[in-house]
């Protein structure tokens, strides 16, 4: 069937070659493209009472002209026209710049509708538009589009009006009647009208509500279809672990697992045993004890005769994991190896050979693990720590190394639920929502930089009691070199202050791997008292005796990262402290500092971070895995997201959805997306 919407925009009146080119620049070729180009806001022409209008806000008033207009000429083509008008009880001045022709049009006693910016202090409106006569009923909102070049808003509005009129009712309705009914959503025709030319505020709101739902439903259908496809098509391996041996291992661990740890271990083990491929996200706040969960899971795979891999984002962390896992699992007869960038060629060759032969049970490393020459004998389980630092591509490569190994992603950056079900919606999620018993809340203080001496005194007090401290140096935008320079300076200062009393040392990304090794080992062993460092210690480093952290220029960090950093202390039995040294210049910065002092709860901070920075920045600039929504906003539309998700789960698992005529258009969109073939949507 030939629909009007598939026709070229050239069929509309008033579109010549030039306009068509402008439209093409915006990606608009057909009438469909055009009407799905939504305005980014509406000019609000609703009448307002001046008494209730805040300073500097746009306002539209209906008023009576109370004075002859006067015009002042301010040089070439510049003029200032001023007139007094009475709006309700307010006698105010209205000023128009460079519109002196209005002088002859404004007559005393006439009613006019004026829009402009309200200068409350001076009781003046800086007029932008004026219409003669009282305000028209249906002229509350005018759409404002994001346009390019010489294309004028007014022209574009006219084209849009024409297109919508032409299309009329000739549009298919992608949402089934049942859902429209259930949520009282506007029809597609009404909603399009409401998006572009709303009758009133409610119309605009309802139109938006419909499109937000539709967009999120489409998205969740894709995610859920993907999940289903993974479950059904990807044959994984069934890891028949030895429960007896796992239990025995758990009994040798020097602490009792928390209930949350036990729960997630069970969830993971269930997945391991099943023949489908595990695709699970393990979330747990800093210090919640994810490493031991990883160790148990890897051991489970080993008891079934499989190899395991543990991938960490930094060498320091990989080394530390190797150390922890060795101390726990070596007594169980597990052979663990560390592959890092600094592994010597000869040693490396030997190691790879052993790995290939299956003599190594668990391989730990950074992304060195995903190089082509690393070949496993029979990889059964891959765990990546702090997975948000890995790109989608790296995750895929590692997965492809084995015959569909089970995959567990661990993250200490609590991900707000809205983001989790969008970015990781096709995964199962386990959450460790409990800290080991006896942990004390980390006391966090925010001090100004001129209070540095007090901070150093407090640090010394901790050192005197045998504790250790971290001093984190500011992050200098995108420049590791400057970060290092900064850390070196801070280190030299502190070393001077503490000379002969405490051992201060330095850690940063540019140290020779051997030196990094030494510093980390000595800090772990308590031979170094104060560790000055860049953010390389951010992730995962575990030194329970460290009870004090000072973060220079803390406002340069995002909340998620600050929380990560802070998580380096408070990991043992001692009361710990975190001092944020910062003179933030923005409100946002101040709010972040306040939030840090108010809560230790990573999930709360994550929500706050999302609110302050928006979803795009939450995961950092690189791979967010988040789709670009036209209408939906993950921060504000989280309730709708939740509803759309539940609906999508229901639909995907319902035979009716795959057969019935009502769902035809939703199915078509799903097919186009590629999700049915297992393609990820980002």
**Partners of 550 in beta bridges:** 471, 579
Nearer to Mg ion by Cβ, of 113 and 320: the residue is 320
Under rule CB under 6 A, residue 289 binds ligand ADP: yes
What's the rounded Cα separation, in Å, for the pair 145 and 457?
57
294 touches 248 (CB < 8 A): no
Longest dimension (CA), the chain: 98
Under rule CB under 6 A, residue 380 binds ligand ADP: no
Nearer to Mg ion by Cβ, of 33 and 285: the residue is 285
Among 30, 261, 366, 561, contact with ligand ADP (rule: CB under 6 A): 261
Among 425, 540, 558, 584, contact with Mg ion (rule: CB under 5 A): 540
Least CB distance to Mg ion at residue 408 (A)? 13
Under rule CB under 6 A, residue 102 binds ligand ADP: no
Name the DSSP letter for residue 47.
Answer: B
Closest residue by beta carbon to Mg ion: 540
Under rule CB under 6 A, residue 258 binds ligand ADP: yes
Extract the runs of DSSP E, i.e. beta strands, from 286-441: 307-311, 336-339, 362-365, 379-385, 406-411, 428-432
Under rule CB under 6 A, residue 194 binds ligand ADP: no
From 26, 51, 54, 20, select the one nearest 40 (Cα to Cα): 26
Choices 257-265, 361-369, 532-540, 642-650; region in contact with Mg ion by CB under 5 A: 532-540
Under rule CB under 5 A, residue 289 binds Mg ion: no
Among 86, 124, 257, 269, contact with ligand ADP (rule: CB under 6 A): 257
Under rule CB under 6 A, residue 533 binds ligand ADP: no
Least CB distance to ligand ADP at residue 575 (A)? 16
Take residue 489 and report the two structure tokens written for it.
Answer: 């300076």
Among 224, 288, 418, 534, contact with ligand ADP (rule: CB under 6 A): 288
Least CB distance to ligand ADP at residue 257 (A)? 5
What's the rounded Cα separation, in Å, for the pair 234 and 399?
12
542 binds, among Mg ion, ligand ADP, none (CB under 5 to 8 A by kind): ligand ADP
Name the DSSP letter for residue 567.
Answer: T
Please state, as a whole number, how many other Cβ atoms lie within 10 Å of the Cβ of residue 151: 18
* Residues 410-429 interacting with ligand ADP (rule: CB under 6 A): 412
406 touches 427 (CB < 8 A): no
Name the DSSP letter for residue 629.
Answer: P
Q: What is the distance, to the nearest Å, from the Cα of residue 226 to the centroid of all Cα atoms in its chain? A: 21
* Residues 115-174 interacting with ligand ADP (rule: CB under 6 A): none
Under rule CB under 6 A, residue 486 binds ligand ADP: no
What's the rounded Cα separation, in Å, for the pair 441 and 576?
7
414 binds, among ligand ADP, Mg ion, none (CB under 5 to 8 A by kind): none
261 binds, among Mg ion, ligand ADP, none (CB under 5 to 8 A by kind): ligand ADP
* Residues 465-484 interacting with ligand ADP (rule: CB under 6 A): none
Least CB distance to ligand ADP at residue 445 (A)? 22
Choices 90-98, 237-245, 475-483, 536-544; region in contact with Mg ion by CB under 5 A: 536-544
Please state, as a whole number, how many other Cβ atoms lie within 10 Å of the Cβ of residue 678: 16
- Kindly give, in sequence order, each residue whose CB lies less than 8 Å from that of residue 125, ignoring residues fewer than 6 positions away: 59, 61, 92, 93, 94, 95, 114, 116, 117, 118, 119
Among 116, 236, 284, 416, contact with ligand ADP (rule: CB under 6 A): 284
In this structure, is the dihedral angle defined by the CA atoms of residues 338, 511, 504 and 313, taken in order, positive or negative? Answer: negative
Binding site for ligand ADP (CB under 6 A): 255-258, 261, 284, 286-292, 412, 436, 540, 542, 544, 571
């Amino acid at each position: 069937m030939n629909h009007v919407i598939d026709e070229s925009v050239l069929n509309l009146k008033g579109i010549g070659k030039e306009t068509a080119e402008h439209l093409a620049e915006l990606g608009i070729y057909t009438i469909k493209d055009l009407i799905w180009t939504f305005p980014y806001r509406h000019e609000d022409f609703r009448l307002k009472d001046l008494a209730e209008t805040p300073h500097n806000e746009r306002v539209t008033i209906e008023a009576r002209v109370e004075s002859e207009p006067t015009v002042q000429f301010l040089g070439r083509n510049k003029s200032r026209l001023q007139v007094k008008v009475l709006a309700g009880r307010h006698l105010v001045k209205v000023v128009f710049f460079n519109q002196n022709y209005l002088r002859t049009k404004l007559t005393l006693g006439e009613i006019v509708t004026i829009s402009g910016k309200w200068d409350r202090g001076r009781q003046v409106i800086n007029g932008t538009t004026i219409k003669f006569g009282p305000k028209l009923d249906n002229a509350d909102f005018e759409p404002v589009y994001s346009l390019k070049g010489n294309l004028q808003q007014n022209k574009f509005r006219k084209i849009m009006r024409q297109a919508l009129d032409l299309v009329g009712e000739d549009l298919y309705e992608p949402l089934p009647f049942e859902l429209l009914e259930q949520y009282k959503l506007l029809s597609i025709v009404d909603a399009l009208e409401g998006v572009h030319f709303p009758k009133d505020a409610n119309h605009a709101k309802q139109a938006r509500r419909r499109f937000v739902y539709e967009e999120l439903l489409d998205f969740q259908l894709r995610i859920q279809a993907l999940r289903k496809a993974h479950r059904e098509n990807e044959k994984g391996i069934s890891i028949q672990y030895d429960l007896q041996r796992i239990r025995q291992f758990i009994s040798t661990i020097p602490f009792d697992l928390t209930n949350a740890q036990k729960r997630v271990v069970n969830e993971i083990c269930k997945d391991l045993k099943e023949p489908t491929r595990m695709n699970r996200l393990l979330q747990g706040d800093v210090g919640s004890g994810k490493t031991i969960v990883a160790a148990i899971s890897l051991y489970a795979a080993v008891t079934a005769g499989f190899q395991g891999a543990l991938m960490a984002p930094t060498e320091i962390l990989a080394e530390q994991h190797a150390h922890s896992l060795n101390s726990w699992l070596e007594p169980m007869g597990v052979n663990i190896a560390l592959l890092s960038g600094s592994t010597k060629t000869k040693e490396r060759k030997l190691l790879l050979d052993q790995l290939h032969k299956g003599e190594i049970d668990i391989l730990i490393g950074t992304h060195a693990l995903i190089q082509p020459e690393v070949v496993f004998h029979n990889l059964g389980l891959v765990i990546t720590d702090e997975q948000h630092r890995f790109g989608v591509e790296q995750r895929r490569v590692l997965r492809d190394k084995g015959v569909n190994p089970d995959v567990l992603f661990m993250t200490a950056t609590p991900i707000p639920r809205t983001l989790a079900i969008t970015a990781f919606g096709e995964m199962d999620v386990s959450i460790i929502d409990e800290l080991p018993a006896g942990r004390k809340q980390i006391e966090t203080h925010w001090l100004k930089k001129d209070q540095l001496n007090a901070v150093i005194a407090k640090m010394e007090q901790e050192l005197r009691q045998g504790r250790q401290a971290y001093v984190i140096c500011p992050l200098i935008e995108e420049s590791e070199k400057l970060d290092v320079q900064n850390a070196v300076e801070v280190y030299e200062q502190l070393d001077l202050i503490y000379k002969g009393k405490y051992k201060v040392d330095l850690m940063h990304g540019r140290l020779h791997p051997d030196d990094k090794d030494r510093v980390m080992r000595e800090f772990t062993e308590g031979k170094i008292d104060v560790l000055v460092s860049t953010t390389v210690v951010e992730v995962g480093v575990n030194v329970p005796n460290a009870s004090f952290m000072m973060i220079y220029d803390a406002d340069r960090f995002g909340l998620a990262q600050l929380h990560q950093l802070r998580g380096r202390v408070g990991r043992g039995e001692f009361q710990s402290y975190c001092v944020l040294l910062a003179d933030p210049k923005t409100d946002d910065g101040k709010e972040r500092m306040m939030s840090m002092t108010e809560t230790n709860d990573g999930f709360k901070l994550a929500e706050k971070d999302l609110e302050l920075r928006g979803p795009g920045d939450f995961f950092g600039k690189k791979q967010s895995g988040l789709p670009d929504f036209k209408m939906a906003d993950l921060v504000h539309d989280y309730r709708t997201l939740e509803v759309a998700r539940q609906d999508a789960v229901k639909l995907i698992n319902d035979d009716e959805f795959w057969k019935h005529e009502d769902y035809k258009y939703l199915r078509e969109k799903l097919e186009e997306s590629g999700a049915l073939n297992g393609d990820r949507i980002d």
